Amino acid sequence: MKLQILGCYAATPRTLTNPTSQVLEIKNHMFLIDCGEGTQVQLRKHKIKFSRINHIFISHLHGDHFFGLPGLISTFRLLGRDRELHVYGPKGIKEAITLLLKLGDSWTNYPLLFHELTSKEPELLFEDDKITVETIPLNHRVYTNGFLFKEKLGERKLNVNAVAQYKIDKCYFQNIKNGKDITLNDGTRLSNTLLTFDPPKPKSYAFCSDTSFFPEIIGQIQEVDVLYHESTFLDSEGHLSERTKHATAKEAATIALKANVGMLILGHYSTRYKTIDLFKEEAMEIFPNVALADDGKVFEM
């Protein structure tokens, strides 16, 4: 699982910082999460093959989280894309995007599929044989969702020495990896645990931005490997977080602690601060394993 931050600052783009967008690579998928202005420039800058992107998840309809989407959709058209592109986002996103395409007489030459969201309860958005993606309802000024990406439990790992010892034919290997016991020709039944090792623990990633302090998400994100949580303000500007329905670094760390997550990544910083190191310092007073998102930064999990 690999996370690349394309942008992680609040509100307006600047020469050195970009609004929210990130790419998650997991089980041969490349998912785009939010698409603020400049996203496709960042994709090119960091040499990400965005032709691999088939699913885009938009948290909410504030400009710093989706104003880059019309341009990206248009670029896909210019590049001759023919594969389906799925866009998941709040109700209204289809109208917003298709109006621009209509006025510019620039309909896509590939299937553009919108999945509009209205539920205030978690819902499954995507599933295949390896992963699931579901919404995390958040608390912001407009309807907003985070997203929870979870690997499914993989195949058990073959114990090569054990199968060789019992001279088990290769034709049974897949059944063994699927968890089945094996009966030998002499009637001896071998437990699957004797022939295999446990598969790696499935990884999980939770994206939570934008939101105020919202403890209701704790149950859903319990023990995720990595939590990205917005931290627009420091605690000293807590009055601003209440008014704008954003969170502080201290509040993000509190969520991480109560959810017992593996690592907390902070982002969506207000640009009023001279250094983002202050966010990490504040969060680490509550939760020990804190990392700072920054434009272009890569996290390998």
> Active-site residues: which are they?
64
Q: Write out the H or E segment, with its range, that includes residue 41.
A: helix 39-45
Please indicate if the annotation marks 65 as binding a ligand.
Answer: yes
Q: Report how far apart, in Å, the C-alpha atoms of 81 and of each of 66, 75, 78, 143 are.
A: 21, 9, 8, 31
Residue 57 neighbours by CB distance under 10 Å: 25
Please indicate if the annotation marks 268 as binding a ligand.
Answer: yes
Q: What is the Cα–Cα distance from 296 to 301, expressed in whole angstroms? A: 16
Please indicate if the annotation marks 229 as binding a ligand.
Answer: no
Please indicate if the annotation marks 210 as binding a ligand.
Answer: yes
Cα maximum dimension of the chain: 75
Per the structure block, which two tokens stand in for 185? 């020709």
Please indicate if the annotation marks 115 as binding a ligand.
Answer: no
Please indicate if the annotation marks 140 as binding a ligand.
Answer: yes
Please indicate if the annotation marks 60 as binding a ligand.
Answer: yes
Q: What is the DSSP string of 102-136?
A: HHTT---SS-EEEEEE--SS--EEEE-SSEEEEEE
Q: 185, 165 in Cβ contact below 8 A? A: no
Going by the annotation, the residues of the binding site for Zn(2+) are: 60, 62, 64-65, 140, 210, 268
Q: Which residues are annotated as a binding site?
A: 60, 62, 64-65, 140, 210, 268
